[in-house]
Structure 1
Amino acid sequence: MGFDTLCIHGGHKPENNRAHLTPIYASSTYTFDSAEQAIAVFKNEEPGYIYGRFGNPTINEAEERIAMMEAYGLQNADGSQLQLKAILHASGMAAITTMLLSNLKAGDKIITHPSLYGGTQELADKILPGLDIEAVIVDFKDINTVAKAIQADKAIKMMYMETPANPTLKCVDLEVLSALAKEHGLIVCVDNTFATPYLQQPFRYDVDFVMHSTTKFLNGHGTAVGGIVIGRDLEKMNTIVTKTHRLLGGNSNAFEAFLLTNGLRSFSLRMERHCSNAQKVAELLSNHEAVALVNYLGLTSHPDHELCKKQMKHAGAMMSFELKGGFDAGVRFMNKLKMCTNAVSLGTCDTLLSHPASTTHVGVPREKRIEFGITDGLIRLSVGIENVEDIIADLAQALA
């Protein structure tokens, strides 16, 4: 089926009571017809549901649909359709945590790049060291430096990428970096939240895991928090990753999974409007006297413009821009918004803006934040699907 059709019908199975949409299965536990059936289900010899923390039909539909989106049009080496396994979580951070702890042990290291999402950065700085897992931060633009770092340290077991990065919109080359990582036997992971499977499919480049905050574009309406990890090694996903997920307890729930599947039904249409609006907004900002810099991949001025064209369908709906007046200008600008919303999330139907220096990255030391390109006057902008003229008018009056 086509991608738009997949967004609506993917993963859906007929329901016994003939409900049009998969219902919210609000049950903490499930029954068995016999002791023998229970044994078979617990041993994975027979499909079935056991306990709410382990999943339910509402959750599974969301998982299957997103896995199908990430695998859309992709094939294995033998020409067969790529099959992926997805596990829905209570948040994007829960999904990332499951992925990390199911693949790493004490003494292992991750190689990654600057300018990660603030929560991921804090996880690497404040939680993983206590587990004797270290993050090695290297400029992924310099492939020789990355190669030398991997060769010099046999403890590096994983490469972690976020592209486009939050909130600077820097991109890294998935094809080149994944190939390098595979040469050295590393596990390759990509946070695909900003791009979404509509714009970018990391599994095309032989990566092992993809994560999303489903709270964002996939849900699209700001109604539910969630996260998902998708993997290509089905055996590993069904064993160690599933076991880690269940024991950590970061499971989703039926209500939020229901909201997610409903959001996915309009996903591709929303993304078309997000993207077309964003290009027009970026062009306005790039010509405004109060703006020092616009980070938008659709502008030829962005250093990663060509890389974006190589691995993404469109530049997307996310951008950031730097105000000339620094921190104080950022605060004044946020206070003057009328229609656009001051909120730290992204990917909803309405336009959202945030000031990372005082919100999402407040826990990151200033010198490190500046080093990563997250300046005092940087504004992050998630362009919504309103009439673009209204978005532009509100931004213009706030900048005046």
Structure 2
Amino acid sequence: MDTPKIDFETLALHQQHTHDKYAHLQPIYATSTFTFDSAEQGMRRFTGEESGYIYSRFGNPTTDATARAIADLETWNITDTEGQPLQARALLTASGQAAMSTLFISTLQAGDAILATPSLYGGTHEFITKLLPRFGIKAYFSDMTDIHQVEDILKQTPEIKLVHFESPANPTMQCIDMEQIVQLAKRYNKLVSVDNTFATPYLQQPFKYGVDFIFHSTTKFLNGHGNAIGGVLIGRDTAAMNGHILHTYKLLGANSNAFDGFLVLQGIKTLALRMEQHCRNAMDLALFLTKHPEVEKVHYNGLSTHPDYDISRKQMRHAGSIMSIDLKGGYQKSVNLVNKLQICTRAVSVGTVDTLVSHPASMSHSGIPREIRLQTGITDGLVRISVGLEAIADIIADFEQALR
């Protein structure tokens, strides 16, 4: 976005759009295809000699506007090695899984390998361990809080091409020192990707640390209202994003649609405002839960007791609004808690305006073998909480009565 330096909140609110400069909001281009003035024009567009829209699977003004908005936020106030504003290209996808699969399939091929943290969203873990091997792509895992362990694997496994992690991770809230990992990865000529869904660009900008790719499930905080499924992939290598990655995106049919793109774009306008309240509520709830006699442990990177507290403070504006808790009494106690909540919502997903509570072992991470799940700290009794925007007194009162 070619504008003077402005604050994040202003940038999120005032996104430029094209095609109808007099429309206050980005119009919804609900069309599957686009017309040509002549057969020759159509030919030029298909060969790339002329820019322009062809078919909404390839690109659409509404989804492109949303993608540009997210790229602008992820690159806000970041400069490249020459001191110029960092340029990045984004592709809006049908889901976070579509963004992730577009990245992995476009950058990896048979004989390559991926190195990831064990603490991942269940769908990502399953994709890496169950689908990528079918394409001849091996998966390796490492605790990326141990930089020596990561280096040992990179030394011994030259076929690793991509290093991937979440920070904060789902649902343990593990945080990775991005600067440290990127410096190591670049020493071994590896690409680095980050799932920034939990943090959003308001709380954290991985491009600051040299990360190559960022993706989000826009379903979560970027949309914020639970009414649109979507994802986005952002890359700082614009040639690759406009080349083989865009080609893969088209062939996979990973595109979002105009209506969902419009909903995400509207959600982005209040992102900063929402995240501030999300984070305030989360901290207050975390402090309450740490003192409750029925709670064994609170996993929240905003607490000084969390092992990654210092890394979180270094990289993030605030700690975020997601936490998980282990209860005394394990599985049955956690089920009782979820069932007894009256205000908070029993549902998977995170980042909506209302507080969402789920049981990862039987829900979002149920496809991961139990022994692997336990190694990453996802116990049978773990409860994940995405703290919403309700009055904090009501959220705390709801947990208090449910824990009796």
User: TM range, normalised to the smaller chain?
Assistant: over 0.9
Residue type at the aligned position of 2:381:
G
Q: Is the 8 A contact 1:11 1:64 kept in 2?
A: no
Counterpart in 1 of 2:162?
A: 158
Counterpart in 2 of 1:184?
A: 188
Deviation per residue, 1:159-178 (Å, 9 max, x gap): 00111000000111100001
Measure the CA separation in 1 of the matches of 2:155 and 2:230: 36
**The one of 198, 212, 224 aligned to 2:228:** 224
State how 1:192-207 maps to structure 2 within 5 Å: 192-207=196-211
The alpha-carbon deviation at position 127 of structure 1 amounts to 0.6
Q: Is the 8 A contact 2:18 2:61 kept in 1?
A: no
Q: Is the 8 A contact 1:293 1:323 kept in 2?
A: yes
Deviation per residue, 1:228-281 (Å, 9 max, x gap): 100000110001000000001121000100111111111110011101111100
Residue type at the aligned position of 1:66:
I
**The one of 248, 251, 254 aligned to 1:250:** 254
Matched, 1:318 2:322: yes
State how 1:277-356 maps to structure 2 within 5 Å: 277-356=281-360
Counterpart in 2 of 1:60?
A: 64
Counterpart in 2 of 1:15?
A: 20
Matched, 1:69 2:43: no
Measure the CA separation in 1 of the matches of 2:143 and 2:119: 10
Counterpart in 2 of 1:172?
A: 176
Counterpart in 1 of 2:128?
A: 124
- What is the TM-score normalised by the length of structure 1? 0.98
- What is the TM-score normalised by the length of structure 2? 0.97
Q: Is the 8 A contact 1:11 1:62 kept in 2?
A: no
Deviation per residue, 1:158-211 (Å, 9 max, x gap): 100111000000111100001100111101100000111001100011111000
Measure the CA separation in 1 of the matches of 2:144 and 2:339: 36
Matched, 1:95 2:99: yes
Matched, 1:377 2:368: no
Deviation per residue, 1:361-399 (Å, 9 max, x gap): 111111111111000111111110111111111111111
Measure the CA separation in 2 of the matches of 1:330 and 1:12: 47
Q: Is the 8 A contact 2:116 2:164 kept in 1?
A: yes
Q: CA RMSD in A?
A: 1.0
Residue type at the aligned position of 1:382:
S
Gaps (5+ residues) in structure 2?
1-5
Measure the CA separation in 2 of the matches of 1:72 and 1:372: 33
The alpha-carbon deviation at position 42 of structure 1 amounts to 2.0
State how 1:26-37 maps to structure 2 within 5 Å: 26-37=30-41
Q: Equivalent residue of 2:140, what SS?
A: strand
The alpha-carbon deviation at position 39 of structure 1 amounts to 2.6
Measure the CA separation in 2 of the matches of 1:84 and 1:41: 23
Measure the CA separation in 2 of the matches of 1:290 and 1:55: 52
Q: Is the 8 A contact 1:86 1:231 kept in 2?
A: yes
Measure the CA separation in 2 of the matches of 1:88 and 1:97: 13
Q: Is the 8 A contact 1:88 1:226 kept in 2?
A: yes
Q: Is the 8 A contact 1:98 1:241 kept in 2?
A: yes
Identity %: 53
Measure the CA separation in 2 of the matches of 1:202 and 1:230: 11
Residue type at the aligned position of 1:267:
L
Counterpart in 2 of 1:362?
A: 366
Residue type at the aligned position of 2:253:
G
Q: Equivalent residue of 1:230, what SS?
A: strand
Q: Is the 8 A contact 1:91 1:215 kept in 2?
A: yes
The alpha-carbon deviation at position 134 of structure 1 amounts to 1.2
Q: Equivalent residue of 1:161, what SS?
A: strand
Residue type at the aligned position of 1:329:
K
The alpha-carbon deviation at position 5 of structure 1 amounts to 1.2
The alpha-carbon deviation at position 14 of structure 1 amounts to 5.8
Counterpart in 1 of 2:3?
A: none
Q: Equivalent residue of 1:151, what SS?
A: helix
The alpha-carbon deviation at position 12 of structure 1 amounts to 2.5
Q: Equivalent residue of 2:57, what SS?
A: helix
Residue type at the aligned position of 1:3:
F
